[in-house]
A and B are shown apart, each in its own frame.
Chain A
Amino acid sequence: MNQPAQEWPLWEVFVRARAGLDHKHCGSLHASDAKMAIQMARDVYTRRQEGCSVWVVRADHITASDPQNKETYFDPAEDKVYRHPSFYRLPDAVDHM
């Protein structure tokens, strides 16, 4: 087995299923650099026609919120129903808001 220090860095993979949709996180893989990561993502995550575009980003370039902050950060939104736009009548022209 490789020592952790010699392992290829981890990359997070985002795949866009169709034109017009957004890229969705679908998993991760190891690759030595960005070019290889794109190719590996193509081979690992789009074999069954899952996508038409791929993004990769090094996992250590992502800054994540601290799980310990979960309650502090996210629970306060729980009772703020007025933040949803459900109390407004939208014109038909903007029905995908």
Chain B
Amino acid sequence: MQASISIHDSPELRYVLRLADTCLILAQRLGQWCGHAPVLEEDIALTNMALDLIGQARALYTHAGDLHATLNGVRYDEDQLAFLRDERDYFNPTLVELPNALDGSAAPGDFAQTVLRNCMIASLLVLVWTALLRSNDKALAAIAEKAIKEARYHQQHYADWVVRLGDGTDVSAKRMQHALGLLWPYVSELFVEDAIDRAAATQGLGPAWSTLRASWMSQMQSVLEAAQLQVPQLNAFCSTGRCGVHSEHMGFLLAEMQHLQRAYPGAVW
């Protein structure tokens, strides 16, 4: 079995990995829908989004590999970074690693929870990419320029779904409200400010995600309002995926995602 790589501890690198892992792990979840979505057209739309996210993650991992080489002389490629880290070295927010049906209601997932999460994350990524257009890291700004167009479409498409289902039939409204209740507690984590974000903001690398909170909230609130959904209150719960401390679901996801590279080191298409 292929051993894990160890990641140099630097705020700059972690900042880039947080974004890269957000894209990759959500893509992995969306990939589980492939061939199973409620209708053929949306099956293609979901996997399109997954592939867009993987493309973004690839660019970010390549960039992170360059950063790593600059920081401590070891260069990792995108596959090593994507597939050969231990769970604690992934820095995505917990929201993206949650199963497609958090309450175990259906395999391969609950469509309401899926479209809601896509809308939440796409809305966040639009804000992140927009701010990254002004990054003083030219490579990051270039990645943002390509990714922002994809993220805008994801946001539009999945916000539309949230409104359709929330403001739809009694059953669909009930299921969207249920999904919102399940996923909303994971919002707090997205905008926690910490040393990594502060360092990135100070250096001009990218925005502290905490500064995006107000815009994100107002965008989500207008979507949820149009969807006739009640926004739940946030309580003290705050997940910790961005610090590498994940939910119980992450290990299973990684086992499936990493299996091939672990069992067949360096395997390529």
Contacts and interface: CB of A to CB of B under 8 A. Distances in A.
Contacts of A31: 41
A63 to B, nearest CB: 25
A10 to B, nearest CB: 11
Interface residues on chain A, size class: 10 to 19
Given A35-B160, A39-B160, A30 B44 contact: no
A84 interface: no
A31 B41 CA distance: 8
Nearest to A7: B39
Interface in B132-179: 153, 156-157, 160, 164
A73 interface: no
Interface string A50-87: 00000000000000000000000000000000000000
Q: Is chain B's interface secondary structure helix, strand, loop, or mixed overall? A: helix
A3 to B, nearest CB: 15
B45 A43 contact: yes
Contact of A39 (B39, B40, B45): B45
B80 interface: no
Contacts of A8: 39
B219 interface: no
